[in-house]
């Protein structure tokens, strides 16, 4: 199974080669992999920022415990969940379904209403947590796609979300920086690449009932 080979190849890259860039063609493939991610109801209640501007990345590095990946990697992906306008996003999604599948939007309205009811029944904290979780699914697609293309990546939670929101003006547009990933190519002297992968055994991890 080729997937297992590439998952064994990949690791959370700690040191990137700042001279190497992911080319446009591969970047488009990564974007499509994220675009095809599954999400609750299919809503994709997130937006992905791809940061290449070094000035911005230097500022974001300060809000990321000064981790070198932020500035040395080829690109910085920021997965931002929606904090507001979730109901409007449902209407947008129903219209998109109707347009894409050539279906009468009126016939889809009951489905849209049921989604809205579920969202309205959540507290603001529950809604934010639910939306944030969707970004992790999308991140998984990015990591796997990177591995298939032999592009290195490092998923990261070690950053100050509030500072990211401030620097990027995300609060003003109803977004929250939930999760980040750096992508590029490993430095030859990144010691992390030589460490043996540590995972629980199959017996520890799985139980068939």
Whether the predicted model's global pTM rises above the 0.85 cut: yes
199 inside domain: no
| CA dist., res. 141 & res. 112, Å (int) | 26
Cα 177 to its chain centre, rounded Å, is 10
Among 149, 139, 4, 129, CA closest to 76: 139
pLDDT of 51 strictly over 90: yes
Q: What is the pLDDT of residues 20-45, one digit of tens each?
A: 999 999 999 999 999 999 999 999 99
208 inside domain: no
Q: What is the pLDDT of residues 93-127, one digit of tens each?
A: 999 999 999 999 999 999 999 999 999 999 999 99
The predicted pLDDT at position 95 comes to 97
pLDDT of 85 strictly over 90: no
pLDDT of 192 strictly over 90: yes
Domain span holding position 22: 2-187
Stretch 132-160: mean pLDDT: 98
pLDDT of 156 strictly over 90: yes
40 inside domain: yes
Instruction: State the total domains in the chain.
Output: 1
| CA dist., res. 111 & res. 119, Å (int) | 13
Q: What percent of the chain has pLDDT over 90?
A: 98
CA angle 63, 69, 75 (to 5 degrees): 100
121 inside domain: yes
203 inside domain: no
Strands of the sheet with 75-82, listed across from one edge? 46-51, 75-82, 175-184, 152-156
The predicted pLDDT at position 27 comes to 98
pLDDT of 199 strictly over 90: yes
| 172: its two tokens | 């003003």
Q: Looking at residue 15, which CATH number applies to its domain?
A: 3.40.109.10
pLDDT of 74 strictly over 90: yes
Q: What percent of the chain has pLDDT over 70?
A: 100
pLDDT of 84 strictly over 90: no
207 inside domain: no
Contact 37, 91 (CB under 8 A): no
Q: What is the pLDDT of residues 58-73, one digit of tens each?
A: 999 999 999 999 999 9
Average confidence score pLDDT of the chain: 97
The predicted pLDDT at position 70 comes to 98
14 inside domain: yes
The predicted pLDDT at position 1 comes to 85
59 inside domain: yes
């Amino acid at each position: 199974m080729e997937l297992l080979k590439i998952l064994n190849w990949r690791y959370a890259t700690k040191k990137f080669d700042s001279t190497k860039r992911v080319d446009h063609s591969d970047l488009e493939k990564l974007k499509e992999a994220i675009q095809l991610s599954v999400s609750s109801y299919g809503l994709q209640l997130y937006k992905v920022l791809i940061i290449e501007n070094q000035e911005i990345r230097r500022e974001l590095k300060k809000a990321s415990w000064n981790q070198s990946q932020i500035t040395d990697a080829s690109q910085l992906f920021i997965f931002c969940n929606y904090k507001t306008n979730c109901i409007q996003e449902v209407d947008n999604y129903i219209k998109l379904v109707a347009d894409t599948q050539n279906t009468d939007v009126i016939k889809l309205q009951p489905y849209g209403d049921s989604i809205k009811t579920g969202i309205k029944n959540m507290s603001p904290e529950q809604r934010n947590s639910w939306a944030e979780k969707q970004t992790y699914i999308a991140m998984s697609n990015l990591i796997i796609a990177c591995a298939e293309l032999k592009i290195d990546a490092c998923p990261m939670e070690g950053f100050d979300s509030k500072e990211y929101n401030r620097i990027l003006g995300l609060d003003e547009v109803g977004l929250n920086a939930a999760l980040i990933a750096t992508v590029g190519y490993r430095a030859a002297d990144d010691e992390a690449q030589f460490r043996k992968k540590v995972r629980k055994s199959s017996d520890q991890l799985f139980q068939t009932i």
